[in-house]
Structure 1
Amino acid sequence: MSSTTSEVWLPFPAEEIAGLPDSFRYRHWDGEDEFPADPAACVFYVTPYMKSPAVTVRPLALMPRLRIVQTLTAGIDHVLGGLSDLRPGVRLCNARGVHEASTAELALTLVLASLRGIPGMVRGQDREEWRGGFYEALADKSVLIVGYGAIGAAIEDRLAPFECAGITRVARSARTTGRGPVHAFTELPALLPEADVVILSTPLTEDTRGLAGAAFLARMKDGALLVNVSRGPVVDTKALLAELDGGRLCAALDVTDPEPLPAGHPLWHAPHVLITPHVGGSSSAFEPRAKRLLARQLTRFAAGEPVENTVLITE
Structure 2
Amino acid sequence: MSQEAARIVLDDEVLAELHEISSLGSDEVLDDLATARAREVLRDVEVLVTGWGCPELSAEVLAAAPRLRAVVHTAGSVRGHITSECWDRGIAVSSAAAANAVPVAEYTLAMILLTGKDVLGRTPGEGPAAIGNFGRTVGILSASLIGRRVIELLRPHDFDVLLSDPYVTAAEAEALGARSVELDELFARSDVVSVHTPLLPTTRGLVGRALIESMRPAAVLINTARGAILDQDALLDAASAGRVRAVLDVTEPEVLAVDHPLRHCPNVLITPHLAGSRGNECRRLARHAVAELRRWAAGSGFAHPVHREQLERIA
TM-score normalised by L of structure 1: 0.75
Alignment of 1:16-31 (within 5 A): 16-17=13-14, 19-20=17-18, 21-29=21-29
Check if 1:157 corresponds to 2:152: yes
- Which secondary structure does the structure 2 equivalent of 1:298 belong to? helix
Match of 2:47 among 44, 55, 65: 44
Q: Which moved more, 1:140-149 or 1:67-76?
A: 67-76
| Amino acid in structure 2 at the alignment position of 1:251 | A
Which deviations, in whole Å up to 9, do the C-alpha atoms of 1:202-231 show, x marking residues without a partner?
222222222212232123222211011222
**Residues 91, 313 of structure 1: 8 Å contact kept:** no
| Amino acid in structure 2 at the alignment position of 1:228 | N
- Which secondary structure does the structure 2 equivalent of 1:260 belong to? coil
Which deviations, in whole Å up to 9, do the C-alpha atoms of 1:158-181 show, x marking residues without a partner?
2223322x1112223122243456
- Structure with the higher fraction of residues in helix conformation: 2
CA distance in 2, matches of 1:250, 1:182: 24
| Amino acid in structure 2 at the alignment position of 1:103 | V
Which deviations, in whole Å up to 9, do the C-alpha atoms of 1:257-289 show, x marking residues without a partner?
111334333322234111111111234562232
Unaligned 5+ segments in structure 2 are 122-126
Residue 3 of structure 1 is matched in structure 2 by none
CA distance in 2, matches of 1:198, 1:96: 22
CA distance in 2, matches of 1:278, 1:233: 14
- Which secondary structure does the structure 1 equivalent of 2:162 belong to? strand
Q: What is the Cα deviation at residue 58 of structure 1? A: 4.9
Would the alpha carbon gap of residues 154 and 180 (structure 1) be closer, same or farther in structure 2, given more than 3 Å must change? closer
Which deviations, in whole Å up to 9, do the C-alpha atoms of 1:103-135 show, x marking residues without a partner?
121102222333334367xxxxxxxxxxxx957
Check if 1:256 corresponds to 2:251: yes
Residue 124 of structure 1 is matched in structure 2 by none
**Residues 98, 286 of structure 1: 8 Å contact kept:** no
CA distance in 2, matches of 1:304, 1:62: 28
Aligned residue pair count: 285
CA distance in 2, matches of 1:232, 1:30: 31
Match of 1:171 among 160, 165, 170: 165
Residue 183 of structure 1 is matched in structure 2 by 180
Residue 129 of structure 1 is matched in structure 2 by none
Unaligned 5+ segments in structure 1 are 1-8, 50-54, 121-132
Alignment of 1:4-19 (within 5 A): 11=6, 12-13=9-10, 15-17=12-14, 19=17
Which deviations, in whole Å up to 9, do the C-alpha atoms of 1:75-103 show, x marking residues without a partner?
445x16x6256572234432143123311
Would the alpha carbon gap of residues 15 and 231 (structure 1) be closer, same or farther in structure 2, given more than 3 Å must change? same
Would the alpha carbon gap of residues 245 and 171 (structure 1) be closer, same or farther in structure 2, given more than 3 Å must change? same
**Residues 232, 256 of structure 1: 8 Å contact kept:** yes
Q: What is the Cα deviation at residue 194 of structure 1? A: 0.9
Quote the RMSD (CA, aligned, Å).
Answer: 3.4
- Which secondary structure does the structure 1 equivalent of 2:243 belong to? coil
**Residues 247, 271 of structure 1: 8 Å contact kept:** no
Alignment of 1:279-298 (within 5 A): 279-283=274-278, 286-298=281-293
Q: What is the Cα deviation at residue 38 of structure 1? A: 0.6
Q: What is the Cα deviation at residue 295 of structure 1? A: 1.2
- Which secondary structure does the structure 2 equivalent of 1:19 belong to? helix
Would the alpha carbon gap of residues 48 and 245 (structure 1) be closer, same or farther in structure 2, given more than 3 Å must change? same
- Structure with the higher fraction of residues in strand conformation: 1
Alignment of 1:197-208 (within 5 A): 197-208=192-203
